[in-house]
Structure 1
Amino acid sequence: MTHALTDDVLSARAREPELFDLVYRSYASQVLGYLTARGVEDPEAVMQEVFLAVLPRLATVTGGLAGLRTFVFSVAHARIVDDHRRRRRAPVELPFEPDLDGREESSAEDEAMEQISPREVHNLLGVLPDDQREVLTLRLVAGLTVEQAAEVMGKSGGAVKQLQRRALIRLREQSAVKEYVMP
């Protein structure tokens, strides 16, 4: 199948199973990145939950592709909240067992890949307050517009812009402090 997900395809195929495949291929990597950046314990499993929740409601989505994108990330946001609440209620702590640790020395390639990993992005975002971290994750990782991020977060577009500006300033200040301390 060579169709691309467009407003016309969305409306013409609202009830066809192929539409789910197009939606999944169009948004899966962005949803996975969003879930990973927000610290979800098992982002792949939660991503599947997101799309399983989206599938039966595809025919009811309004607003074309922009509405669909907002809907998908609203569901993802709700799953993130569920994941964080679940972990707070029943934290899982496993003891480290050195005898079961089969890791070996990492290669230069592995070390380079670790430097650009989603974990690094997660750590960088970790210095931000929750609202600022959420805005940057929705805007930069998920690729949502200001209006879409505002709808997901239940805030105004102006509030999202202000949170994004403050977050970027804070990250810039953090970077300047590190450069000053580490020659």
Structure 2
Amino acid sequence: MAEHDPDGGLVAAMARGETWALDDLYARHGRRLLAYLAGLLDDRQLAEEVLQDVMLAAWRGAADFRGESRVTTWLLAIARRQALGARRHRGVAVVPLDEDAPKDDSGVFKRIERQASQDAVRAALGQLPADQRETLELIFYHELSGAEAAGVLGVPEGTVKSRLSRAKTTLRRLLHLKEVGHEA
């Protein structure tokens, strides 16, 4: 199991059929998963429906969880697969992050949010390609490592690093243009 993951016991209890563990897992991660899904789907109602599918998939897959990643990473990977399936079936396009997504003041975002209004950051995020935007969300909002984000996205860790680098460069350029009064 991933080092000291407090949720590992919940997944093990789910694997034994203990429904209280699913309730606890939902209480601990439901809001984070909903924000992630709403950001991917741009439809809160659809995100809520997909969240139910995510929790059902987690329940069904609990016995197969090997503990090689954090439970959070496992849940985000399930959420991504379910959201992609929902988009395929419903033709939903990828859109900007949900306004209710949790904010993390780490790294580059700390400097960016000091220099620009939250609306400017959201607008700049909305101009990023979907793959870069999703990578940023996983790294900064969901606090995943590069390797964990790569696992969720199903790409090599080097791809995550290059997407992150390109996204940061683009955000700096977009926010600088807004700061000096130009349209991005």
* TM-score normalised according to structure 1 size: 0.70
- Residue 149 of structure 1 is matched in structure 2 by 149
- Residue 138 of structure 1 is matched in structure 2 by 138
Separation of aligned partners in 1, 2:99 and 2:9: 36
Alpha-carbon displacement from aligned partner over 1:62-92 (angstroms, at most 9, x marks no partner): 11661x3222111111122123223438x9x
Contact map agreement 2:33 2:79 (CA 8 A) in 1: yes
Size of the aligned set, in residue pairs, is 153
Alpha-carbon displacement from aligned partner over 1:40-69 (angstroms, at most 9, x marks no partner): 422222212211221121122111661x32
Equivalent residues in 2 for 1:1-183, closer than 5 Å: 5-8=6-9, 10-11=11-12, 14-15=15-16, 16-41=18-43, 42-63=46-67, 66=70, 68-88=71-91, 117-118=99-100, 123-181=123-181
Q: Which has the larger radius of gyration?
A: 1
User: Alpha-carbon deviation of 1:32?
Assistant: 0.9
Gaps of 5+ in 2: 102-118
User: Alpha-carbon deviation of 1:8?
Assistant: 4.5
* Local SS of the residue matching 2:127: coil
Separation of aligned partners in 1, 2:86 and 2:11: 30
Counterpart amino acid of residue 21 in structure 2: L
Comparing 36-45 and 71-80, the one that deviates more: 36-45
Separation of aligned partners in 1, 2:122 and 2:79: 17
> What RMSD in Å do the two structures reach over aligned CA positions?
2.8
Separation of aligned partners in 1, 2:38 and 2:129: 17
Contact map agreement 1:7 1:65 (CA 8 A) in 2: no
Give the % identical residues: 30
Separation of aligned partners in 1, 2:67 and 2:57: 18
Separation of aligned partners in 2, 1:175 and 1:29: 29
The structure-2 alpha-carbon separation of the partners of 1:22 and 1:151, relative to structure 1 and needing over 3 Å to count, comes to: same
Alpha-carbon displacement from aligned partner over 1:108-131 (angstroms, at most 9, x marks no partner): xxxxxxxx9349676442211122
